[in-house]
Chain A
Amino acid sequence: MPVYNAALRRINPKETARYAGLKNSGDFPAELVAAACLEAQCLASPRGIWQVYDYSCASGEIHSCQPVTLEGQHIRRHLAGCVSVAILAATIGPGVEERAAALFGKGEYTSGLLLDAAGSAAVEEVADSLERLIVNNGAQQGYGATPRFSPGYGDWAISIQPEMLRLAHAGEIGVNITASLMLTPRKSITAVIGLYPTIPAAASPQRQPRNCQNCPHRRCIARKEPEQ
């Protein structure tokens, strides 16, 4: 499957504010958030890639050349009923994180923090575009697609990251991993999207939506509160 470097035509200021830990604070200057989004847009080099593999949901096995078995209740449940999986990797390159660190060095803490948050929002946007493409490609052949699911969500251990990078061919877009399993550039994502037959409809199982309520990191500053 091809490299797809989605155009980053906007960065969502609301998401940026959330990643910065602003929650629902209305009295923070919106222009600071907007400026961070604009700067991140200028510094980002969006890149993305994905590959599709056959998948056995009974065994959790991805049928790549060197097969990979997925461990973890959440991921297995998420992919229940799927016959293929798309493994994707997305990044915005190192520009944003380098600039955020430089801003901290200059004492511009707020801009640094907001820029880092805008980078997080940006890489999600890039992954969203990739996801749309994958969902559309699947639909062309009559497949339904699950929302994307990343290592670290629920109980899916990030120890799968090296396999995810290998499966996605992430090296082609410059995404690598440290010995301690951190992606470089830091603003990078890997994820899986499950593809399932749309007919018969009964095959599509109940899936947990990907949201903050299903995440164990309760102190996360970007956590979304349940809607009242």
Chain B
Amino acid sequence: MIYIFDGAMGTMLQEAGLTAGQCPELWNLEQPAKISAVHRAYLEAGAHIIETNTFGANRIKLSHYGLEKQVEAINQAGVKAARAVGERALIAGSVGPTGKFISPLGDLEFDEVYDIYYEQIAALDKAGVDMLIIETIIDIQEMRAALLAAKAASKRPVVCQLSFSGDGRTLTGTDAVTAATTLEALGADIIGANCSLGPAQLLPVIATLAKSVRIPVSVQPNAGMPQLVNGKTVFPMSPAEMAEWVPRLIAAGAGYLGGCCGTTPAHIRAISQAAAGHLPPVPAEPPAHAVRLSSRTQTIWLGQGFPTAVIGERINPSGRKALAESIRSHDFSQVKKEALAQVEAGAMILDVNMGVPGIDQAKAMKQAVADLSVLVQVPLSIDTTDAAALEAGLRTYPGRALINSVSAERERLEEFLPLAKKYGAAVLCLPLAGSGVPHTAAERVAVAADIIAAAFAAGLKPGDLLLDPLVLTVAADASAGQETLKTLRLYREMFGYPTVMGLSNISYGLPRRDIMNSAFLGMALAAGLDAPILNPFDQLMQDALAASAALLGHDANGAGYSARYAARQPHSPQSSAPLNSADIIGQIRDIVVKGGKEAVLPLVQAALNSGKDSLTIVENGFTQAMNEVGEAFGAGRCYLPQVMLAAETMRIGFQALRSFLPAGQPANAGKVLLATVKGDIHDLGKNIVAALMENSGFKVIDLGKDVAPEQVVAAAKEHQPDIVGLCSLMTTTLPYIDSTIAALRQAGLRPCVMVGGAVLTPEYARSSGADLYAPDAVAAVRLAKNYIKTVKERPLS
């Protein structure tokens, strides 16, 4: 049969006299008869399952009314009010959102939210509900916290209903397939969608959910999309209109139907009548032995028939000093960079290993997983031998992770497998026993079978398990490659589970390991490897993967292979243009204009070798180039980043030349004191001016940002600059341009004052007493040069 839930509670209570600002759940204690009356109305309309009036009866929501101490009493009273309608109904304890986000998306810790739900669910369970329904949740992490709490606090079945937006995702980005993957693995008994959308918009969501899970699917739509009429939110869909969607929702896979916002007993009666006589949908049969992993926003399949899934191995501090140090000092920017770059290079899963000796691995794993969960879309593999680190990672991860790995050693089986079950993770089985390393394929299969048996005993199933064939070093054992390949073939014959392995052990101790690794990768993929753990930046590996994808039939007609390689020319060491010594200065000019940072040093060297003197290189090469760039910028033919790139290129060339320059050369163009005025904390524009000034031969004294007038005066006295450059970006700090100039003049200092900044106008510059106004950084340099020229050419008086 099709089970029917009830409809909205809030609107019914408003009709019964609840006013805005009153706590609806408090009526469980104060007006239980009115609550029971609503339940009775739904029961009489045909509902099989009654939801308790406890949607907002968690500590956080109740604290808005000062009722946070009454969680247990309000939930118990809610169950009692539902039970009062008689034994015919099934009572579902309703659990709604806290209204806050969990870290790193919000300011609540996962464990706080878990405790909040545990408290409410324990109260509902104690009061004797038949099932629990966690509903209207928009963030998968909040659902995970509530579901884990439900599994710990109660033995009752749990319905997990998320709210999806019009794009088929929850507000924090989880799509229906991914929600299904994560929540079914975590032990949800029924999965579904409610609120937010009407039946029309929820239909595709329900169809997707039903195709993705073996468990039943529920749906409780709003009565259409809301409208605001006379200050009140109304839902326009009539009972009859809503009932029209029922056969289609059932056909899409819903076995449990009800209503959310705007639905009334009349809607439920219509839904119940429309559902009568329909058989419950047949659950889907997802591929039995393939394994799904999920992140917050994405699901990927591993196994036979699916494309090879590359697992990026780079987030691993062993043998990588800089990465290890950054993790040790709680700086995860390096970890994040590795993650993004590997995904960019094609990794579909990221292995995360925090094995830095002497650190709190659990803390580091928690931080890494939290950071990566909001940075990359691909699922993670938690790589550790430390049970505390494993649990920290799995608990924090808002998806279904892979555990890398579980060996046949007793403590691993006893500690890791229950964690996999509890957190809905998939398990990579590594055939290592306490007794040592099994050398032959037959021995490995036997050990793997032991791990599989233990995993089943812990409640895991096919679909949760992956197998590692074990890779030993071919330099130490000539049969190492063969045994691994044989193990892969036996795994596929005997178990059919997806296979995963790290390849690089095979080439340990040999030269050009990349060649050996890539050849082995091709063979392993042919023998049935589904997911290699490798360095995605390794070009040979990428080549082997691309070719293998076509050869194994994952890349129809080699289309992907062709797209990747057709345009590429093979590497040729002679491909760089020969140096033409005839116009070497011209080439230097060109390379500076183009911003060819890498190419400038060889050119400078070549110029020196061909007998050019350093001053000529600077003046006819660098300076002219920068003049060209400046002109192009002024004419709108090039833009600021290109100017900066040219300046940087010149700087690199200039620094290399410095030791060759005659003492005191090139002539110091002048001394410039720069500051962003008091109150202004922006220094980018001033930094750009400083960079260009320095490159043009000025000596720059940079006082930084937020510089008070008296600091400028003191520095001007000390350094006696030719020019003082003042910058202000915002209207609020413009007055400090005036007061700084006034302070300089008052101190009897008469340097040329140049001003500039986003909101500064020539008129303002004039009125402030400045000598020069620079509309942009390139103009600032030009003006400064002109000024120095005029001053120097002026006869001494």
Contact = CB atoms under 8 A, between A and B. Distances in A.
Interface of A: 2-9, 17, 20-23, 25, 28-29, 32, 38-39, 41-43, 46, 83, 95, 100-101, 104, 107-110, 112-114, 116, 132-133, 136, 139-143, 158-159, 172, 178-182, 184, 186, 197-199, 217, 219-221
Interface of B: 99-101, 104-107, 165, 171-173, 196, 225-229, 231, 233-234, 296-297, 333, 336-337, 340-341, 344, 374-377, 595, 638-642, 644-645, 647-648, 651, 678-684, 687-688, 690-691, 730-733, 758-759, 775
Contact of A109 (B165, B234, B647, B775): B647
A158 B732 CA distance: 9
B105 A5 contact: yes
Contacts of A17: 641
B641 A2 contact: no
Contacts of A132: 171
Contact of B340 (A7, A25, A41, A158): A41
B375 A41 contact: yes
B105 A42 contact: no
The 8 closest A-B pairs by CB, nearest first: A180-B679, A142-B228, A7-B374, A21-B640, A142-B226, A42-B336, A197-B228, A109-B644
A9 B640 contact: no
Contact residues of B: prevailing secondary structure: loop
A184 B681 contact: yes
Contacts of A8: 374-375
6 contacts: A2-B107, A4-B101, A17-B641, A38-B344, A42-B333, A107-B691
Contacts of A172: 107
A90 B233 CA distance: 29
A172 B106 CA distance: 11
Given A32-B641, A116-B684, 12 more contacts: A9-B297, A20-B641, A21-B641, A38-B337, A108-B648, A110-B645, A112-B644, A113-B640, A140-B226, A181-B732, A182-B730, A186-B682
A200 to B, nearest CB: 9
Contacts, number: 163
B687 A104 contact: yes
A25 B227 CA distance: 46
A97 to B, nearest CB: 8
A147 B680 CA distance: 29
B333 A4 contact: no
B122 to A, nearest CB: 25
A25 B638 contact: yes
Contact of B165 (A5, A108, A136, A219): A136
Given A38-B341, A221-B640, A141 B775 contact: no
B639 A28 contact: yes
B758 A220 contact: yes
Contacts of B234: 142
Contact of A142 (B233, B297, B639): B233
A211 to B, nearest CB: 18
Contacts of A2: 99-101, 106-107
A9 B377 contact: yes
B105 A7 contact: yes
B375 A180 contact: no
B776 to A, nearest CB: 8
Contacts of A3: 100-101, 106-107
Contact of A158 (B101, B691, B730): B730
A198 B228 contact: yes
A111 B731 CA distance: 28
B639 A100 contact: no
Contacts of A46: 374
